[in-house]
Amino acid sequence: MVIGGGIQKKVRVLVVDDSGFFRRHISKLLSKDEQIEVVGTAGDGLAGFEAAKNLKPDVITMDVEMPVMDGITAVKKIMSEVPTPILMLSSYTSKGAKETLDALSAGAMDFIPKQSSKTPDNSAQLSEMLVQKVLAVGNKQRRLIRTPPAINKTATEVVSSRSRESPQVVHRGSYDLVVVGASTGGPVAIQNLMCSLPKNFSTPLVLAIHMPGNFTKAFAERLNNTCSMEVKEAVDGDRLQPGVALLAPGGKQLYFSRSGVTAQVRIRDGKPEETYKPCIDTTLESAAQVMGGSVLAVILTGMGSDGCQGASMLKQCNSTVWSQDEASCVIYGMPQAVEKRGLSDMVLPLNEIGPALVKAV
281 part of the active site: no
25 part of the active site: no
CA distance 340 to 347: 11
Question: Residue 55: how many CA atoms within 13 Å on its side-chain side?
Answer: 24
Could you tell me the strand order of the sheet in which 86-91 lies? 36-42, 11-16, 59-63, 86-91, 110-114
| Of 63, 210, 305, 325, catalytic | 210
| Of 91, 183, 286, 344, catalytic | 183
210 part of the active site: yes
| Of 306, 323, 328, 344, catalytic | 306
CA 348 to chain centre: 16
Q: Could you give the residue numbers annotated as active site?
A: 183, 210, 306
